[in-house]
C-alpha cells in the first residue's frame, strides 16, 4: 500500500496513488499533538484518508508537509499508512494549519470537497453505491455517518413537494466553520452525482449560512446557479420524488454485506479505553438511571476536576460519553420494541419525548420511527 521513492512520499487515497511531496526521512519525528477536542468533534476515530486528501491540497498550494502536519502528532510515514486511524481533533488541527497558512484562499473548503469521491469513504461509500434508491442510500449513509469525515450534523427532511439535505454546522468551532460548511455541504453534492452515475441531480435550490462572498463564481461554476447566502441554514433542496429514483449500481446482496461491515466497523471505532472506558462502563451498567458526573467521579474515586481533566487528555468529555451511551441504548431499546417513545425518553433521562426525538435526529439525521424503518428494511435485505 506504500511506495517510498526518496525524497518523495506516496500513499493510497481511494484507488489513486497520491504524492505527499518531499520530506527528509532522517528528520522524521513524532510531534506531540496540541489539538484539543472541539465542541463539534465527532465521537469516533476516523480513517487517515481525509488527512491525506487535505495534505495533498496543502502541498498543491505551496505548503510543505511539515506545515500541514504541525501540531497533529503525525509524521509523513504515518500519514502515508492507509491503515492508520486518527482522532477527529487531529483532522481539525490540520484544517487549522491550512487556513492559517492560506488566508487568501476563501474557497479552500469547496476545493477540498471535490476530492471526496465515494470510494474515499471505504466500505461506507460502497454501501451507498449498492443501495437501491437515493432514499435508502441517504438513510444508510446517515445511520453510519460517524464512518465519514463530516463534522457537521447532517439530516434528511421532507415536506409535501421537496426533500432537503440539511448540513448543520452550528456546533462547529467558529475558526473552521466556513471551511467545514463548504466542504461538508458540497461533499454531499459530489456523493449525489456519483450515485446517479456522474449526472448532476436537478436541484430546487441551495442555501448557505455563509455571508455572500465578493467573488461568487466558484459557487456558480459548481452549481450552475447562485446559492442563497446568509440563510438560516445550510440546505440542499430537490424534488421529493427523486428520493425513490432507482440507482444504476443497486445490488441487494452487496448492500446487505456492506451494511453489516459498516455496523462492525463503527462498533470497533467506538470502543473506548482509559478513564473514558470506565466512565462508559459505569453509564451502561445503570441504563435505567444514568448517573451524573459527581456520582461517576465518586465511583472512580476521583474528584470532578480530576475526572474532567483526564477525559480532556483522552480527547473526550463526560457529556460526549453520556451522548454515546444514550445513543447506544436508544438504538437497542428501539430495536427491541415494546416501549413507547415516552418510555424510552424517560429511561434515557429526557424530560419529554420531544427532547429525545430532537436528540435522536441530531445523532442519526432521522427521527426514531424513520430510522427504525430503514434499519428493518436493511435487515430484511
Tens of pLDDT, residues 112-152? 999 999 989 999 999 999 999 999 999 999 999 999 999 99
Q: Is residue 262 part of a domain?
A: no
Q: Is residue 368 part of a domain?
A: yes
Q: Is residue 287 part of a domain?
A: yes
Instruction: Please give the residue range of the domain that contains residue 13.
Output: 4-105
C-alpha cell at 302: 476521583
Q: Is the pLDDT at 24 greater than 70, yes or no?
A: no
E strand segments, 120-233: 153-158, 162-168, 205-207
Q: Is residue 253 part of a domain?
A: no
C-alpha cell at 206: 441551495
Domain identity same for 30 and 95: yes
Of 105, 132, 162, which residue sits at a domain end? 105
For residue 172, give the DSSP letter. S
Q: What is the CATH number of the domain that holds 359?
A: 1.10.10.60
Structurally, how many domains does the chain consist of? 3
Domain identity same for 231 and 293: no
Q: Is residue 309 part of a domain?
A: yes
Q: Which helix (H) or strand (E) holds 282?
A: helix 274-285
**pLDDT band for position 377 (cuts 50, 70, 90):** low
Of 77, 105, 133, which residue sits at a domain end? 105
pLDDT at res. 287: 64
Domain identity same for 187 and 136: yes
pLDDT at res. 30: 27
Q: How far apart are CA 167 and CA 210, in angstroms?
A: 12
Of 244, 259, 289, which residue sits at a domain end? 244
Domain identity same for 304 and 340: yes
pLDDT at res. 362: 86
Q: Is residue 311 part of a domain?
A: yes
Domain identity same for 283 and 351: yes
Q: Which helix (H) or strand (E) holds 235?
A: strand 235-239
Q: Which helix (H) or strand (E) holds 125?
A: helix 123-129
- Using the structure block, give the residue that is written with the C-alpha cell 429525545: 356
Domain identity same for 238 and 322: no
Q: What is the pLDDT of residues 27-48, one digit of tens each?
A: 322 222 444 444 444 567 899 9
Domain identity same for 300 and 366: yes
Domain identity same for 28 and 101: yes
Domain identity same for 321 and 361: yes
From the CB of residue 39, how many other CB atoms can be counted at a distance below 10 Å? 12
Q: Is the pLDDT at 19 greater than 90, yes or no?
A: no
Q: How far apart are CA 174 and CA 7, in angstroms?
A: 37
Domain identity same for 204 and 130: yes
Q: Is residue 75 part of a domain?
A: yes
Q: How far apart are CA 173 and CA 264, in angstroms?
A: 30
Q: Is the pLDDT at 99 greater than 90, yes or no?
A: yes
For residue 246, give the DSSP letter. B
Q: Which of 71-80, 231-240, 322-331 has the lowest mean pLDDT?
A: 322-331
Q: Is residue 20 part of a domain?
A: yes
pLDDT at res. 380: 59
DSSP helix/strand/coil, 131: coil
Q: What is the pLDDT of residues 225-274, one digit of tens each?
A: 999 999 999 999 999 999 999 999 999 999 999 999 998 998 888 777 78
Domain identity same for 173 and 132: yes
The pTM of the full predicted model, rounded to 2 decimals, is 0.73
Domain identity same for 133 and 233: yes
pLDDT at res. 198: 67
pLDDT at res. 379: 57
Q: Which of 16-25, 155-164, 242-251 has the lowest mean pLDDT?
A: 16-25
Amino acid at each position: 500500500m506504500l511506495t517510498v521513492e526518496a525524497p518523495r512520499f506516496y500513499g493510497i487515497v481511494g484507488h489513486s496513488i497520491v504524492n505527499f511531496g518531499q520530506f527528509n526521512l532522517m528528520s522524521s519525528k513524532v510531534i506531540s499533538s496540541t489539538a484539543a477536542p472541539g465542541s463539534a468533534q465527532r465521537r469516533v476515530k476516523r480513517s487517515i484518508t481525509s488527512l491525506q486528501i487535505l495534505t495533498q491540497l496543502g502541498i498543491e498550494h505551496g505548503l510543505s508537509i511539515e506545515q500541514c502536519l504541525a501540531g497533529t502528532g503525525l509524521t509523513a510515514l504515518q500519514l502515508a499508512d492507509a491503515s492508520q486511524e486518527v482522532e477527529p481533533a487531529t483532522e481539525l488541527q490540520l484544517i487549522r494549519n491550512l487556513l492559517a497558512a492560506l488566508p487568501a484562499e476563501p474557497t479552500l473548503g469547496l476545493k477540498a470537497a471535490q476530492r471526496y469521491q465515494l470510494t474515499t469513504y471505504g466500505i461506507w461509500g460502497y454501501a451507498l453505491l449498492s443501495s437501491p434508491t437515493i432514499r435508502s442510500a441517504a438513510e444508510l449513509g446517515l445511520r453510519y455517518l460517524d464512518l465519514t469525515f463530516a463534522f457537521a450534523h447532517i439530516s434528511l427532511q421532507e415536506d409535501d413537494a421537496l426533500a432537503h439535505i440539511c448540513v448543520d454546522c452550528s456546533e462547529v468551532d467558529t475558526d473552521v466553520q466556513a471551511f467545514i460548511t463548504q466542504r461538508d455541504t458540497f461533499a454531499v453534492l459530489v456523493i449525489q452525482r456519483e450515485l446517479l452515475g456522474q449526472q448532476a441531480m436537478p436541484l430546487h435550490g441551495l442555501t448557505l449560512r455563509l455571508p455572500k462572498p465578493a467573488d461568487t463564481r466558484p459557487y456558480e461554476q459548481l452549481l450552475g446557479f447562485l446559492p442563497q447566502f446568509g440563510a438560516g441554514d445550510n440546505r440542499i433542496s430537490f424534488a421529493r420524488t427523486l428520493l425513490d429514483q432507482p440507482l444504476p449500481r443497486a445490488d441487494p446482496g452487496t448492500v446487505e454485506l456492506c451494511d453489516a461491515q459498516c455496523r462492525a466497523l463503527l462498533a470497533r471505532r467506538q470502543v473506548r479505553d482509559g478513564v473514558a472506558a470506565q466512565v462508559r462502563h459505569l453509564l451502561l451498567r445503570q441504563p435505567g438511571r444514568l448517573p451524573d458526573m459527581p456520582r461517576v467521579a465518586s465511583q472512580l474515586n476521583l474528584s470532578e476536576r480530576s475526572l474532567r481533566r483526564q477525559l480532556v487528555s483522552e480527547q473526550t468529555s463526560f457529556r460526549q460519553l453520556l451522548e454515546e451511551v444514550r445513543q447506544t441504548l436508544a438504538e437497542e431499546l428501539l430495536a427491541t420494541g415494546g416501549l413507547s417513545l415516552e418510555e424510552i425518553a424517560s429511561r434515557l433521562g429526557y424530560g419529554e419525548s420531544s427532547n429525545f426525538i430532537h436528540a435522536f435526529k441530531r445523532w442519526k439525521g432521522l427521527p426514531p420511527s424513520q430510522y427504525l424503518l430503514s434499519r428493518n428494511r436493511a435487515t430484511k435485505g
